[in-house]
Amino acid sequence: MNHNLLLQFETHFRATPDKTLIDTPEGRRYSYGEVLATSQRLAGVLQSLDVQPGDRVAVQVDKSPEAIMLYLACLQAGAVYLPLNTGYTGAEIEYFLGDAAPQLYVCPTEWEADAKRFYQEGLVVHVESLGTTGDGSLMERAAVAEPMTDIAYLEASDLAAILYTSGTTGRSKGAMLSHANLASNSRALAEAWRFTANDHLLHALPIFHTHGLFVACNIVLTVGASMTFLPKLDVEQLLDLMPRATVLMGVPTFYTRLLQSPRLDRDAVASMRLFVSGSAPLMAETHDQFRERTGHVILERYGMTETNMNTSNPYEGERRPGTVGFPLPGSEVRITDRESGAELPRGETGLVEVRGDNVFQGYWQMPEKTRSEFRDDGFFITGDLGLIDDDGYLHIVGRDKDLVISGGYNVYPKEVEQLIDELPGVSESAVFGVKHPDLGEGVTAVIVARESETAPDEASVQAALSNRLARYKQPKRIFTIEALPRNVMGKVQKNELRNIYADLYAVKEADETAV
């Protein structure tokens, strides 16, 4: 049997070729038939560039329908799709390309000349560009390419994608996701959330992460639905488009920002049947305010790049604020003791571990790291702390891993600390998350000066990081302190730092009334 994920979508391409699959706010519209034709030509381009099954195709482009066509082309050709955040800077990109050794790197048209250096440096074999309006060298090639018509024959464990996630060591790890991982998870979600071909999704997430790419697009493609692609979150545009839509998926910031618009009321959401939130904790107060204003109870779910989606609040039944619901069909969740690894009874807090068809194949070229994050019986240790309540709802109560989630983007402190520590005058630093009204957590740093030296000031640290880290990873505030708080084992007490700076980003009452 061919396990190619594309086969899960294929029936809709054939059955409803005239139906719109993707449209854009400015009125571009792509039918299933058009998407199929273009993606087949793009698959032909991949073949002409000698992209073989299993080869990586690194794609660092701005959001566009054509980027999805390229994703489909990679599935068809059996190539491994490797999406990269466009916010990554030179050094970050070089690491990903060096690690994944892609056959092809696709970048925005305006970067193409500069990106040729990756080819000259031997990091990639080909460099092509893709713009947001169907422009770029890749589409020029596609216009004259011979379409690929067959679909690569693949095993269930063959890789569909590699998504890099930062790590506690500071070195990003490529999570390897198979065709079967993605296929099973989108089927489970489509069923759990009652998706049908009549649904229209408002898509305002980036498409280089699990949430916007796999959760959102794969579900739409699995059921033959349609979606509007917004380039990024724009609340007023979202509200303009809402009367045509049935579903919105977002990170919690989507909902806190929607709540700031006086236009959000029951009439504005009259056509909507579902609002989904994930990637970061949704505050119970956002949940409550949204229900009061719209009558809709946001459905919160829980996932990870490595595992796709694990749990979801129910479509029918109580969606409980502050919880992430029950395991999806095919997924198992257990809570274990941090020290002994023994399973804990309901109500007790421990490590969240998951197992199922949704769980990834391991980290790219990191067998040791992969082994250390799996139990012998196949459960993956998520690094999140949680408990299962008496009714079976999973609560994520904290993180065992040192991670900041800012607006749904993950920031691993170690990566930022390593760069700060290299700066002249810095002895050591600590990076941590502080409650932020818009982003959930705001990245914050403290630095300690070298003995008898002066630490660089906030502006110079920010300037030094500006070209070395994606913007969302850069600390919003940086303070110099005498010494890092440590416990008797010498471990930096980030909880203490979080407490000291707890109100740093708090909205003052006066500001609130001004909003």
Q: How far apart are alpha carbons 158 and 80 in whole angstroms?
A: 9
**DSSP assignment, residue 492?**
B
Least distance from C-beta 258 to ligand MCA, angstroms?
Answer: 11
Least distance from C-beta 300 to ligand AMP, angstroms?
Answer: 5
Least distance from C-beta 162 to ligand MCA, angstroms?
Answer: 14
Determine the straight-line distance between the first and last CA of the chain, rounded to whole angstroms: 58
The nearer residue to ligand AMP, 179 or 211, going by C-beta atoms, is: 211
Q: Please say whether the dihedral angle defined by the alpha carbons of residues 227, 230, 231 and 232, taken in this order, is positive or negative.
A: negative
Q: 197-221: string of b/e by CB count within 10 Å (b at 16+)?
A: eebbbbbbbbbbbbbbbbbbbbbbb
The nearer residue to ligand MCA, 199 or 300, going by C-beta atoms, is: 300
Whether 71 contacts 99, CB under 8 Å: no
The nearer residue to ligand AMP, 136 or 325, going by C-beta atoms, is: 325
> Which span (51-59, 112-120, 242-250, 297-305) binds ligand AMP, by CB under 6 A?
297-305
Candidates 174, 278, 350, 356: give the one binding ligand AMP (CB under 6 A): 278
The nearer residue to ligand AMP, 186 or 210, going by C-beta atoms, is: 210
Query: Which two tokens mark 30?
Result: 């792509």
Residue carrying the six token digits 């390593």: 418
Give the one entry of ligand MCA, ligand AMP, none that residue 471 binds, where binding means its C-beta sits below a cut-off of 5 to 8 angstroms depending on kind. ligand MCA
Neighbour tally for 194: CB within 10 Å: 13
Least distance from C-beta 409 to ligand AMP, angstroms?
Answer: 7
Candidates 62, 199, 384, 417: give the one binding ligand AMP (CB under 6 A): 384
Least distance from C-beta 153 to ligand MCA, angstroms?
Answer: 29
Encoded amino acid at 221, one letter:
L
The nearer residue to ligand MCA, 40 or 444, going by C-beta atoms, is: 444
Residue carrying the six token digits 């790419």: 213
Q: Does 324 bind ligand AMP (CB under 6 A)?
A: yes
Q: How far apart are alpha carbons 132 and 63 in whole angstroms?
A: 7
Strand partners, 130: none
Candidates 294, 305, 313, 358: give the one binding ligand AMP (CB under 6 A): 305
Neighbour tally for 2: CB within 10 Å: 13
Whether 247 contacts 238, CB under 8 Å: no
Residue ranges of alpha helices (H) inside 16-134 are 32-48, 65-77, 90-100, 112-120
Residue carrying the six token digits 């970067």: 111
What residues make contact with ligand MCA under the rule CB under 6 A?
205-206, 209-212, 232-233, 251, 253, 278-279, 303-305, 406-409, 439, 471-472
Give the one entry of ligand AMP, ligand MCA, none that residue 501 binds, where binding means its C-beta sits below a cut-off of 5 to 8 angstroms depending on kind. none
Identify which of 290, 236, 245 has the alpha carbon closest to the alpha carbon of residue 270.
245
Candidates 382, 406, 429, 480: give the one binding ligand AMP (CB under 6 A): 382
By rule CB under 6 A, what count of residues binds ligand AMP? 18
Residues 206-235 that bind ligand AMP (CB under 6 A): 210
Q: How far apart are alpha carbons 202 and 210 in whole angstroms?
A: 16
Q: How far apart are alpha carbons 83 and 50 in whole angstroms?
A: 19
Least distance from C-beta 103 to ligand AMP, angstroms?
Answer: 26
Q: Please say whether the dihedral angle defined by the alpha carbons of residues 84, 162, 41 and 38, taken in this order, is positive or negative.
A: negative
Give the one entry of ligand AMP, ligand MCA, none that residue 472 binds, where binding means its C-beta sits below a cut-off of 5 to 8 angstroms depending on kind. ligand MCA
Query: Which residues are CB-contacts of 487 (< 8 A; sequence separation ≥ 6)?
Result: 493
Least distance from C-beta 406 to ligand MCA, angstroms?
Answer: 4
The nearer residue to ligand AMP, 405 or 439, going by C-beta atoms, is: 405
Residues 143-182 that bind ligand AMP (CB under 6 A): 165
Q: Does 303 bind ligand AMP (CB under 6 A)?
A: yes
Identify which of 405, 351, 407 has the alpha carbon closest to the alpha carbon of residue 380.
351
The nearer residue to ligand AMP, 39 or 305, going by C-beta atoms, is: 305
The nearer residue to ligand MCA, 209 or 355, going by C-beta atoms, is: 209
Least distance from C-beta 36 to ligand MCA, angstroms?
Answer: 26
The nearer residue to ligand AMP, 300 or 357, going by C-beta atoms, is: 300
Whether 388 contacts 367, CB under 8 Å: no
Query: Which two tokens mark 144?
Result: 């004259």
The nearer residue to ligand AMP, 66 or 300, going by C-beta atoms, is: 300
**DSSP assignment, residue 358?**
T
Candidates 218, 222, 246, 410: give the one binding ligand AMP (CB under 6 A): 410
Query: Which two tokens mark 211?
Result: 């949430």
Q: Does 399 bind ligand AMP (CB under 6 A)?
A: yes
Of the CA atoms within 13 Å of residue 475, those in its CB half-sphere come to: 29
Q: Please say whether the dihedral angle defined by the alpha carbons of residues 221, 222, 228 and 231, taken in this order, is positive or negative.
A: negative
Give the one entry of ligand AMP, ligand MCA, none that residue 315 binds, where binding means its C-beta sits below a cut-off of 5 to 8 angstroms depending on kind. none
Q: Does 302 bind ligand AMP (CB under 6 A)?
A: yes
Give the one entry of ligand MCA, ligand AMP, none that residue 300 binds, where binding means its C-beta sits below a cut-off of 5 to 8 angstroms depending on kind. ligand AMP
The nearer residue to ligand AMP, 45 or 394, going by C-beta atoms, is: 394
Binding site for ligand AMP (CB under 6 A): 165, 210, 278-281, 300, 302-305, 324, 382, 384, 396, 399, 405, 410
